[in-house]
Structure 1
């Protein structure tokens, strides 16, 4: 059994004229992460491995989750390949996850995140919102061939405020 948790980065700021990968989170993103984490912590148990895009907005969101969920440093990795907007590239990176990892939480970007939720899960959605979280389980012993997953949980900040 494999569990994939996809989290879109928090709401980012466009105020400063920064390159896309350097844009920081807006103040609202911190509150959004807080409300999503409050509910997710009631659901989550066991060891999680976190992978994040290196983009500031994704990495900052991942750090908020890492701290609140008390994830040890050795279970947190920034992967430059996760700075992608393509769902097939995102899936290829997830497919490379070692088989000994049972629960993987990935922080990334749209439209790749929404596309992958719809490709792998059984509950389609129009858009995975910023700081939106989706949990999908797979009857598989390997990340290489995950498909036809069961969507267990979708948490969106606007539904939790």
Structure 2
């Protein structure tokens, strides 16, 4: 069985005059990152690997989960291909995951993530909110073979406040 955790980056700030790729988290995003990562770490098994978009806001979000699960640096990586809003690159990254990994977390961006959870999950989600966590399970042995799986858990900041 393969388990995929998808996390949309936490709320980012627009007040800085920086390129989109370098936008940081705003205070609300930092609080949500701590809240959701703590809840996820107590209710789900740690991923064997976390792969994050290299955008500043996604990477900062990923670090909250890395710390909550105490994930080793060797099991944490960035991938520029996850700086993707359509989802095509994200799907390719997922399908090319090492089959020795059974639980993987991907941290990235909308609209890609909402599309992917609706394509691969069995529960319609209108929109994954910022810092939204979705757990999908697949009865497959190879990431390249995943199709429709089960939407097992969602953790959204609004549900924890």
Shorter chain as denominator, the TM-score bin is: over 0.9
Q: TM-score, normalization: structure 2?
A: 0.97
Q: How many residues align?
A: 161
Q: TM-score, normalised by structure 1?
A: 0.97
**Offset of 1:44 from its aligned partner?**
1.7
Which runs of no fewer than 5 residues in structure 2 stay unpaired? none
CA drift of 1:48 comes to 2.5
Corresponding residue of 2:99? 99
Asked if 1:140 is matched to 2:124, the reply is no
How far off its partner does 1:61 sit?
0.4
Distance between the aligned counterparts of 1:133 and 1:109, measured in 2? 12
Alignment root-mean-square deviation, CA:
1.0
Structure 1 residue ranges (4+ consecutive) displaced by more than 3 angstroms after TM superposition: none
SS at 1:118's partner residue?
helix
Q: Give runs of aligned pairs for residues 66-81 of structure 1, distance below 5 A.
A: 66-81=66-81
Residue in 2 that maps onto 1:39: 39
Q: Which runs of 5+ in 1 are unaligned?
A: none
Alignment of 1:44-83 (within 5 A): 44-83=44-83
User: Would the alpha carbon gap of residues 93 and 47 (structure 1) be closer, same or farther in structure 2, given more than 3 Å must change?
Assistant: closer
Taking the aligned partners of 2:124 and 2:108, their CA distance within structure 1 comes to 18
Q: How far, CA to CA, are the matches of 2:43 and 2:64 in structure 1?
A: 17
Could you give the per-residue CA deviations for residues 59-104 of structure 1, whole angstroms, max 9, x where no partner exists?
0000111112100011001011111011222111111100000001
Structure 1 position 45, deviation (Å): 2.1
